[in-house]
Chain A
Amino acid sequence: MKRVLSLFLCCFLILSIGCGKKKKDSNTITIWHWMTDRHKTFESLAQKYEEQTGIKVQIDLYAPSDVFTHKIIASAQARVLPDIYGILDKKKVFASFIENGFVADLTEEFKKNDSEWEKAIFPKALDVNRFKEGNIYNIRPGIYGAPLDVTNIQMLYNRKLLEKIGVKTPPVTFEDFINIAESLKRIGISSLVSGWGELWMIECFASNYAFNIMGEKKVMDTFKGEVPYTDPDWIKVFSIFKDLADRGILVEGVVTKPNKFAEQDFALERAAFAFNGSWCVNVYNDMNPDLEYGAMLPPSINPKLPMRIWGGAGSSFVVNQDSTNKDKAIAFLKWITNKEQQSYLAKETKNLPSNRQALSDIPKILSEFARVMDYTTYPSIWEYNEAALVSEKFNRGIQSIIIGEKTPQEVAEEVQAVKQKELEKAKRKRK
């Protein structure tokens, strides 16, 4: 009898593994995020929210960002996503999450009360979370996320180092920039540092100049496959990197430098210019509170076309479509993006608020970033995006140019060859 009982118990235990469904507390909203620097601030906001509404907000941190991305993808596969989370990947991945029913459509909420919520937020920040009519991902038009802050990526200059060569205003044209950089080099100061050991930062810098040299239409035509990368304008884009490397304007080892190290170089005054995002204000403040610096648009090459920089929503949260606390989650997002909470977030984390009404309370350097929000663009709001394999070849090719291994022409041909393959693959799929 004992044996039969033990057999029954064993079978029961095995069969019950993983069968139990976690009981969900209807008064608790769970948020997953990756922002180490903002975790404490989020927690204090959560506490405030609980005091005001009685709803508990559980904030879970999964950092760094690539670990978070893995976690979100794995949780989506297992359908165990929290009430609120962020999607850090490209628009294509965001679309995939929506397509598979992991993200709630927030359009109706944004449009309520004469679009009160929508009007309060920077339009550029909302665009990152917006899918327009006729989008290439076939997603129902709407707004699918709420931006917590806005960001843009520009160039920073060190006032003290520039003063050493008698320069008081930052360069506006690329020619001026080269002249200043060469003067700095003569007195032993390195010019430009950036985290080009991270591929996306190279892509960002290159795309700024691509927009400036040939304009948005031609860039999009290239992505569509109608303009080859061997076009003289693209060669010009690749040649910028060759020029910067050949003239010794880039800090040594820039291609293997993660952005954290590049930030350290600029903060410790090892370089006069940096290419970095608005989040750097917080980072530089921690590393060197006495750093005197300003923000500027990357110096333009073509005066006929505007310089476009990457920017928009810095970090956004989406609501889980399957969440049983969906309404509470949306209410919390509305609360955290209102003026009061946004001012607090901006003050504590030194990031640009996504709520326009909160702009009045921000530090001077942040207002320099906010001033150029109209120049921002971002891959996720473009009509077309380049295939990931082509982008990889493009970015790695630029690294090869910087280390003097390949010429712009060679890289352009290699990128075009991959592009051609991708176009053929897409054509085969369509058939």
Chain B
Amino acid sequence: MPAIRKNNLLAKAIDNSVNFSFVLPAIAIFSIFYIYPFYDIFNLSLHEWNGISSYREFVGLANFKELMVDKIWWKSIWHAGFITIIALTFQNMLAFSLALVCDRQIRLKKFYRTVFFIPPVLSEIVVGLIWQWILYAGTQSGEHIGLLNYVLVKSGLPHLVNNWLSNPKTALTCIALVHCWKGFGWGFIILLAGLQTIDSQLYEAARVDGAGSWKTFRHVTLPMMMPVILVVIILTVLGSMQVFILIISMVGQGLGYHTEVPVTRILSSMMGTGRYGYACAMGVSFGAILITISAAFKYLSNKTKQV
């Protein structure tokens, strides 16, 4: 009897090992390419390291302590927050409005859908360079070369001519608006897909009950779209907080610290000042901030579902 039991146990162990072996490649790949980088970034954030030397000096939480009082870091977080607020309001409202329009039976619906989705598929560098040319403030032979300033002068509004990207009062807003222009297509597609999943019977029932356009929107469309809207909000927040390519292509390293965002700070710590440990501490803190924001929205989303 014990021999049979032993054989059974052995067979079970082999069976389990074989089964485990099938998921082992996935686990290995996940660990190497996902968990290990996380661990390494956190580990590096506790060290001072120049990125090349084999020696890393352990500094404990010193990098995090320094980060807490780094005014430029917090300023960069605020800048990313500002871009996010503009994106959440302007970009998403634009996306939702256009999705509502395209959800109706209008002419050239397919054409609009295609056109609205062009900016998101363009490279951020290209978008930045195009807008840099539009917002350019230079002149040649007394004429403005930048398209916006040229149009303003020709339309009889020369007092509105501005040095859009080199003026600290307008630079970040310009970047935020270009970011919205570049990004609204994603929200538009997702929201349009959401609108098309709403059962038309609900609209018919509302119409039978005497609801007008506004009431139908408020009591049918909006509640049904809430989960989709929350997804769009989370994606907008994550995308806007991490914007940086657009900034680099529009203003380079310029304008003092007025256009600094967390990712440019991380880059500047790594490549500019060679402080990899500090840059990793920034990355870890920034990641924590983004996770907290996403978790808060997820919590709100669950609450909304319960309501």
Contact = CB atoms under 8 A, between A and B. Distances in A.
B287 interface: no
Contact of B24 (A3, A14, A252): A14
B43 interface: no
A196 interface: yes
Interface stretch (B86-94, B115-123, B249-257): B249-257
A66 B272 CA distance: 10
B303 to A, nearest CB: 43
Interface string B137-167: 1111110010000000000000000010111
A73 B17 contact: no
A256 B254 contact: yes
Interface in A40-98: 66, 69-70, 73, 76-77, 89, 92-93, 96-97
B17 A7 contact: yes
B138 A7 contact: no
Interface stretch (A31-39, A209-217, A223-231, A398-406): A398-406
A69 B271 contact: yes
B14 A3 contact: yes
Interface in B26-57: 28, 50-54
Contacts of A172: none
A4 B251 contact: no
Nearest to B17: A7
Contacts of B21: 6-7, 10-11
Contacts of B186: none
Given A73-B51, A403-B166, A190 B138 contact: yes
A159 interface: no
B166 A400 contact: no
A17 B252 contact: no
Contacts of B52: 73, 76-77, 93, 96-97, 100, 102
A211 to B, nearest CB: 23
B53 A198 contact: no
Contact of B28 (A17, A97, A256): A17
A403 B145 contact: no
A232 interface: no
A188 B255 contact: no
B184 interface: no
Q: Interface majority SS on B: helix, strand, loop or mixed?
A: loop
Contacts of B275: 388
A277 interface: no
B18 A190 contact: no
Contacts of B53: 96, 99-100
Nearest to A197: B252
Contacts, number: 117
Contact of A253 (B22, B163, B256, B257): B163
A405 B256 contact: yes
A207 B294 CA distance: 46
A73 B54 CA distance: 12
Contacts of A306: none
A197 B253 contact: yes
B273 interface: yes
Interface in B241-269: 250-257, 268
B271 A256 contact: no
A258 interface: yes
A97 to B, nearest CB: 6
B233 interface: no
Contacts of A7: 17-18, 21
A253 B165 contact: yes
A257 interface: yes
Contacts of B2: none
A388 to B, nearest CB: 4
A199 interface: yes
Contacts of A19: none
Contacts of A99: 53
Interface string B271-302: 11111000000000000000000000000000
B98 interface: no
B25 interface: yes
Nearest to B48: A429
Contact of A403 (B15, B132, B255): B255
Contacts of B50: 92-93, 96
A396 B256 contact: yes
A426 interface: no
B141 A188 contact: yes
A397 B254 CA distance: 11
Contact of B256 (A3, A89, A261, A400): A400
A270 B18 contact: no
B255 A252 contact: no
B252 A388 contact: no
Contacts of A392: 268, 272-273
A268 interface: yes
A389 interface: yes
A256 B274 contact: no
A397 B258 CA distance: 12
Given A97-B52, A188-B142, A403-B168, A256 B255 contact: yes
A258 to B, nearest CB: 5
B273 A253 contact: no
Nearest to B52: A96
Contacts of A403: 166-168, 255-256
A184 interface: no
Contacts of B139: 188, 190, 252, 270
Contacts of A73: 51-52
A7 to B, nearest CB: 5
Contacts of B54: 100
B180 to A, nearest CB: 20
B136 interface: yes
A268 B140 contact: yes
A17 B29 CA distance: 10
Given A7-B18, A70-B271, A403-B256, 19 more contacts: A3-B14, A3-B15, A10-B25, A11-B21, A14-B24, A66-B271, A89-B274, A92-B274, A102-B52, A198-B252, A255-B166, A255-B254, A256-B166, A256-B255, A257-B252, A270-B140, A388-B274, A389-B273, A403-B255
10 contacts: A3-B14, A10-B22, A93-B274, A197-B251, A197-B253, A252-B139, A253-B166, A258-B252, A396-B256, A403-B166
A-B interface, 6 closest residue pairs, ranked by CB to CB distance from nearest: A197-B252, A256-B254, A388-B273, A197-B254, A253-B166, A256-B251
Interface of A: 3-4, 6-7, 10-11, 13-14, 17, 66, 69-70, 73, 76-77, 89, 92-93, 96-97, 99-100, 102, 188, 190, 195-199, 251-258, 261, 265, 268-270, 388-389, 392, 396-397, 399-400, 403, 405
